[in-house]
Amino acid sequence: MRPTSVSRRAALAALGCAAGSLTGLAACDAAAPGGDGQAGSAGSGAAGDQGPARDEPADAVDALLASMTLEQKVAQLFMVTPEQLTGVSTATVAGELTERALAELPVGGLAYFSKNLQGADQVRALLDGTDRLARGAGAGVPPLLGVDEEGGSLVARVANSGLFDVERFPNMAEIGATGDAARAAEVGRAIGTYLREIGFNLDFAPDADVLTNPDNTAIGARSFGSDPDIVAEMVAAEVAAMLDAGTLPCAKHFPGHGDTAGDSHIGAVYAERTRAEIEACELAPFRAAIEAGCPLVMVGHIETPNFAGDGLPASLSPTMMGNVLRGELGFEGVIVSDAFDMGAITERFAPGEAAARFFAAGGDLLLMPSDLHLAYQGVLDAVRAGSLGGERVDESARRILAAKRRAGLLP
């Protein structure tokens, strides 16, 4: 389909012209070569600046958006692994399969895991090649290239790979125990710097969960601790430092995974605390992250029966994403889901239904659906049937483009 307003070249040219304090934190109790991989099968700015104001840069984003087809806009709303994109079992290079897959479905971003990291030069070539191929596909929009790099021994794909000479840190529980936010800033600055130098532009960190359940094994030492004030201070410091280093941070897992007993990778998980408890405790680090200018917040597959009470995980809940994250906390950036191939989603919803519901509920960037093509088609079908408004797609695509512009991905 042809662009409907301005040309892609004109829109990108227009983009060339564009280039916190913590409040209200309450305490709570801690108790509560041509190929794309190996032999394969087919089948994670400035403070206070979450997004652009309505000025020239925003108008340039709108110009690019206006040049995109509906299919290109919807494709931007998905972030997947290279395996989900291409169908290989382990993707280690960006070659002909990646090129063909992006031509068919020019997704908004790629997320990488340990198996994709096999050599320092290989990783750099993989990221550079993917970026180059994405810029040549669809509307020519460069991709988000993300990784889970929280630091510590548990979730640090790059540092723990042993492939790069980068600074390594203890688990965030140890950083939080110092009570020194400068340590968290050091983590954000170092990780943000080495990720940018390698070729990543997005880090699914920091972990903003308050560990209110000491028996929680899904989060555990990944959290800065059980005191919401300390966690909030640490999260804000890491966010600001990572932004200064030139990498986009993403605070997770809203509305807080620290109280849960289960693991959303397997099935539904619940935060049983009351609305007052969650607002005073679990939401404090997310408020701090937003006030520090965090451009992305990851919403978890966490049900809150004593808060939203809608029987839905937060990642599908209009109450949690719309009323609370957007309304109460004032977040204007990109709402990204936790991975939609997790049991908490796949046990209850088909890929197309889950994707359409996520965007209808107010989400922006859907991470790792269990079937990319079914999820993508489900969103297109919902728009064409009128159950998902085209303006809702535009809102999310605009936020994603604005985040990319903030990361320096758009010229």
CA-wise closest residue to 107 among 61, 64, 72, 148: 72
Dihedral, CA of residue 94, residue 193, residue 296 and residue 184, to nearest 10: 140
Q: Which H or E run includes 297?
A: strand 296-299
Could you tell me which residues come within 8 angstroms of residue 97 by beta carbon, excluding any fewer than 6 positions away? Answer: 35, 36, 37, 86, 87, 88
> How many CB atoms are located within 10 Å of the residue 328 CB?
13
> How many CB atoms are located within 10 Å of the residue 100 CB?
15
Q: At what angle do helices 181-198 and 228-245 cross, to 10 degrees?
A: 30
Cβ(255)–Cβ(289) under 8 Å? no
- Is the peptide bond preceding residue 255 cis, with omega within 30 degrees of 0? yes
Q: Which residues pair with 146 in a beta bridge?
A: 111, 202
Sole residue written with tokens 């993403």: 250
Q: Which residues pair with 249 in a beta bridge?
A: 203
Coil, strand, or helix at residue 150? strand
Compute the half-sphere exposure of residue 217: CA atoms within 13 Å on the CB side of its CA.
Answer: 3
Task: Determine whether 338 is an active site residue.
Answer: yes
CA distance 336 to 338: 7
Token readout for 219 is 């989060």
- Is the peptide bond preceding residue 57 cis, with omega within 30 degrees of 0? no
Compute the half-sphere exposure of residue 387: CA atoms within 13 Å on the CB side of its CA.
Answer: 14
Q: Which amino acid is at 82?
A: P
Sole residue written with tokens 């906390």: 329
> How many CB atoms are located within 10 Å of the residue 392 CB?
18
In the set 62, 203, 259, 338, the catalytic residue is 338
Active site residues: 338
